[in-house]
Structure 1
């Protein structure tokens, strides 16, 4: 007797096989053909936004019934504006240079053999993600432009929204040169289906997990397929003793309050004690005005009102809310020690008018994105001009930071000779 899990597992493998076959066709399409397809999909998503919103309402209602928190519900929620934004992201990706076929380097050996190092697609990407339905369109668009097929496994919380998006994308792709099988969506909440992706090395070339720490850890520790690891964002802002007060406040408020539930929002504020002594009233008024709850060390509690005593978890975890950990230090070195211990290698920012201090911070801080006098909210593919991003890599191999089109390629060495032997 065949179990339901076995049926679903077999279905996942069939989807991966279809993606592998479609990847062959996709890999040889022209840039024009891929761009036209992305524009067609973008137009279709805008035209079908009402059906996506209807499906999203079902997911939101289910989320309310399950008691999901405000940060999670924000990531799950779609609006007409958000749908049009990810459609615009697809058009932006279409307008970016196509990396496929780029000659990265080339030379001729002494024997006359010509060598070229050329960008090619990865092949089939497996994408495992939580909550955010926009990832469905963003990831598919980047994969298709870079010549890759993709197998998507979204979280069960956004199942209806994702299915509505995929249905529109498939109908649109039928009018293009890209086979619709190049975008596969695993429409089940069965965890066994997700685990199946972890080990399908013969069909999946790379896995990209995008979500909370537990999801990423599960993929990294259990997958036999190579993993492009994205990471959580315990991002810090360090206000140096020579920081301009207005810049520091404006950057902090943007990084903390613009969208608290995203991974590039600031979670910890580190302040030099000299700066705090001069500007504590300004800082306190600003934090209160924006409804920010401070979780601070003893020095922060002595200088600022209504401080919640900070424990170990306050320094280590993402709040994804209007909560902020505050640490007071006596030097740049102490700030760096704190970041080294608790940072997640995502994004870190220093606010200072001293260029030498900023240079030292940039040299020593170990993160994918570093800022001087700017908000961490810019660690985003769209903000940096990559178009939509497939994730933000916090690892050091292959890709780091926001992953755009070049991160979804590998390379081939093409040799051309005239009878050379060795």
Structure 2
């Protein structure tokens, strides 16, 4: 298929979503929650065809040489489907955000109100992780937005099964136009490029994936006048302070590596120089004794300290280990050498924790806890569209349905308000 044909297919999906955007914007909150509960039910009822499609995606990926970490992202199984269904059910049970609120009275018998409005159509481009199809679709539906989803080619069969057998039927059952959530069904990076070049149809695109490709798409979007919420880089930092409890440190290292192909896993292990001779060999032994084994990259390092191993297909099972001289130095390394996703300190000294977290400017800071907690559902009990690490005002950290809105200031006669069309 030519680039022009791919662009036309993406534009057709965006046009269909735009046509359905008013319907979902004005759907009742009860309809939206019914659709989410329907998705949860259909994940169970359609498990067999969904898992069959995913098995075929996995087979093709293995034949194509995909490594273990990326295969783990691609894989669905009954437990993961149950987890997805539980998140949908939990989301359906959360009261929707108020769309109107009074701010203050103004002179002349007037009052200022803040209204929250849907964006309209939101695009999403994400790596070959089928569960993200449901995560993002549910966030768009909960926020009354239409959307256009595009995933990596390796997960396309799974994505089609999830949209056609779970998302679309649940919307239709709830009386919401199923065209509101579209899936780009054309493989290849050209479809991602096309998605970020439609400012009139898709003014905002959520970008998730490997750093270089996501940054490239963000630049293309900016040139086209499309705004993005980009999740390009990750990598959790764990700093073992001089007053760290050794057993706790070992436990948090283990918990930070329960999955190797995710952005918030342990990537850089910093050890205070006061305990380097004791803890560095112990952590190397711990990593090597795990199953699967994890390699320790020790100094001198041939790569930047913040190099993200989760994106290095074939070398995902690696952690960088480096010495630092105290909490301030550890925070500086985390700020300057890593993406700024998340950093944790292990210590029994509150003053050291205060110094480290006071100086660390990243998205999530943790004391005696794993950076794996930087996740929408684990932190906020909500699925996420991604984790935004931008260092500018706007939604930061796990982005959920609460962030997918436009703020509008409305001035009305004092004591008067207007109904919200269609919202129950």
Pair in the same fold by TM > 0.5:
yes
Question: Equivalent of 2:410, from 402, 411, 414?
Answer: 414
Deviation at 1:200, TM superposition (A): 0.7
Deviation at 1:349, TM superposition (A): 0.5
Unaligned 5+ segments in structure 1 are: 298-308
Name the structure 2 match of 1:403: 399
Compared with structure 1, are the counterparts of its residues 62 and 334 closer, same or farther at alpha carbon in structure 2 (3 Å cutoff)?
A: same
CA distance in 2, matches of 1:310, 1:268: 12
Q: Say whether the 8 Å CA contact 1:174–1:180 is kept in structure 2.
A: yes
Q: Deviations over 1:152-180 (max 9, x none)?
A: 01111101000000111212322112210
Name the structure 2 match of 1:359: 354
What's the secondary structure of 1:261's corresponding residue? coil
Given the alignment of the two structures, is residue 348 of structure 1 paired with residue 333 of structure 2, yes or no?
Answer: no
Please, what is the CA RMSD of the aligned residues? 1.7
CA distance in 2, matches of 1:6, 1:276: 57
Compared with structure 1, are the counterparts of its residues 145 and 363 closer, same or farther at alpha carbon in structure 2 (3 Å cutoff)?
A: same
Given the alignment of the two structures, is residue 252 of structure 1 paired with residue 250 of structure 2, yes or no?
Answer: no
Q: Deviations over 1:368-414 (max 9, x none)?
A: 11101100010111111332111011113311011112111221112
Q: Say whether the 8 Å CA contact 1:296–1:326 is kept in structure 2.
A: yes
Name the structure 1 match of 2:67: 69
Q: Deviations over 1:71-100 (max 9, x none)?
A: 111001110111121122111111122125
Compared with structure 1, are the counterparts of its residues 133 and 205 closer, same or farther at alpha carbon in structure 2 (3 Å cutoff)?
A: same
Name the structure 1 match of 2:265: 265
Q: Deviations over 1:97-137 (max 9, x none)?
A: 2125142x511111111110122222211000111000001
What's the secondary structure of 1:229's corresponding residue? strand
Unaligned 5+ segments in structure 2 are: 415-424
Name the structure 1 match of 2:231: 230
Given the alignment of the two structures, is residue 204 of structure 1 paired with residue 202 of structure 2, yes or no?
Answer: yes
Deviation at 1:350, TM superposition (A): 0.7
Larger CA deviation: 125-134 vs 311-320: 311-320
CA distance in 2, matches of 1:179, 1:386: 27
Alignment of 1:3-402 (within 5 A): 4-103=2-101, 105-168=102-165, 169-223=167-221, 224=224, 225-255=226-256, 257-279=257-279, 282-290=282-290, 291-297=293-299, 309-313=300-304, 315-319=306-310, 321-395=316-390, 396-402=392-398
Q: Say whether the 8 Å CA contact 2:126–2:207 is kept in structure 1.
A: yes
Q: Say whether the 8 Å CA contact 1:241–1:272 is kept in structure 2.
A: yes
Deviation at 1:355, TM superposition (A): 1.1
Q: So what's the TM-score if we normalise by structure 2?
A: 0.91
Name the structure 2 match of 1:304: none
Deviation at 1:313, TM superposition (A): 4.1
Q: So what's the TM-score if we normalise by structure 1?
A: 0.91
CA distance in 2, matches of 1:27, 1:107: 27
What's the secondary structure of 2:230's corresponding residue? coil
CA distance in 2, matches of 1:59, 1:162: 10
